[in-house]
Structure 1
């Protein structure tokens, strides 16, 4: 969803480290139940864990100008390794080869930001979710409002990428909007800015990066939509089913990184505008 935006966004994402030093001004999602506390796993023998990730999918995993692999998922994996005292490598591979490489034992964990699905869960195990891809309504700043529901959208012109899950969502759950199907996100943005559409409904991460790199003329309206049937179950570290100790350790590390604020610092670094 974000590959077409990769080149113009690299400098933005790398410069965003300064944002993490400021008081949080964005919504940071929380995927951990405070009532459930995980015990730190026993140290066991030293282990080397190979993480696999694509290098062209900002803000989750991409190549920095100095040639290193970085991104939200990559740095979260590194932080988990440090927390657990592991020696880890992050190996770049083409996105469409990640799961096969994991199955063939060429790595222990996929840190590629792919939505979990029933098909993935049949083949692999997964850590606790550390991200979900929300859908959002985008509009011009003067038209933005914190609350926006289906009743308020009746008869409104809404741009949406044709054939997408977002169009299917509107068709099923908001049939009274006037859909303006577009062949691409760029075309849908053009429809919004030209006034042909009053709103744009699309992937919140893609829209947040558009906003972060724009002139401040656009804003979210209403809150995030997280219906898993349309927008996916969420993002987790993916691993083989034959290593339950690895899953328990990753779950502990992720919760620990949330508890001490490390997750929030990484989130602010790579999401200068929160999709939530």
Structure 2
């Protein structure tokens, strides 16, 4: 088992870049436009604020990337419906998509940056009954909820074989049962669980137990930027900028701004 807990120390956003790796420095100052696409209904990544202005993690990230690359004058951010993102990128309406692409989208003429925002799995328990690491032992015999047929179920059964697995067809039922003490824990996507923990439905009942667990082969690599392949230097330039934003603490700042309940 290759579980990995969240990085300890002053950072709460994990450093996914090797500080010793030298990425190529690519200049984009001669490019006339770099338009980033986001969706309108993907809070806290992208949404309309109370004043009707486009806001969110991805919006601020796009601005930070443009500042790091010294292309603020060429930088644009546009919101489109989710199902139009890939087509707009391929047709030249934009140079990059921050909100991800629908599963099965045509990736011809599209390249992806390296992952910059991992999506770990986490356990939640009632505050009155937390579980401690190593969870491989402390979960033994404990009723643990998970979505039936999900990647998290496969991970739970493979990594925590002593847990008593309880499967659900609806996420709200799974979370309600852990809140009411019908199960001892629930296992799911850490980001989604953080939204629940910070919301009214949880009513401060619960907390994360144990560390963050990363399994890219099962859960996917995390967030990446989809980039037009027509500008060959754009993806490596964004990789370098993303790394620098991480080193400078900008990714940490944005994470703390938009995710009040940390999940790493």
TM over 0.5: yes
Q: Kindly tell me: are residues 148 and 62 of structure 1, through their superposed partners in 2, closer, same or farther at Cα, counting changes over 3 Å?
A: farther
Q: Kindly tell me: are residues 43 and 113 of structure 1, through their superposed partners in 2, closer, same or farther at Cα, counting changes over 3 Å?
A: closer
Which residue, out of 27, 34, 39, partners 1:42?
27
CA contact (8 A) 1:146 1:223 kept: no
Which residue, out of 135, 141, 150, partners 1:149?
135
Count residues in correspondence.
Answer: 252
CA contact (8 A) 1:148 1:221 kept: no
Q: What residue number does 1:103 align with?
A: 90
Q: Deviations over 1:105-159 (max 9, x none)?
A: 22110111459x8987776211222101111010011222441422322221011
- Name which of structure 1's ranges 235-244 and 142-151 shifts more when overlaid on structure 2: 142-151
Give the structure with the larger helix fraction. 1
What RMSD over aligned residues (CA atoms) do the two structures have, in Å? Answer: 2.5
Q: What residue number does 1:236 align with?
A: 224
* Structure 2 counterpart SS, 1:209: helix
Structure 1: runs of 5 or more not aligned: 1-23
What's the CA shift for 1:88? 1.8
Q: Kindly tell me: are residues 259 and 231 of structure 1, through their superposed partners in 2, closer, same or farther at Cα, counting changes over 3 Å?
A: same
* Structure 1 counterpart SS, 2:233: helix
Structure 2: runs of 5 or more not aligned: 1-8
What's the CA shift for 1:70? 1.8
Q: TM-score, normalised by structure 2?
A: 0.85
* Structure 1 counterpart SS, 2:261: coil
- Structure 1 position 265 matched with structure 2 position 236: no
- Name which of structure 1's ranges 214-223 and 46-55 shifts more when overlaid on structure 2: 214-223
What's the CA shift for 1:242? 2.6
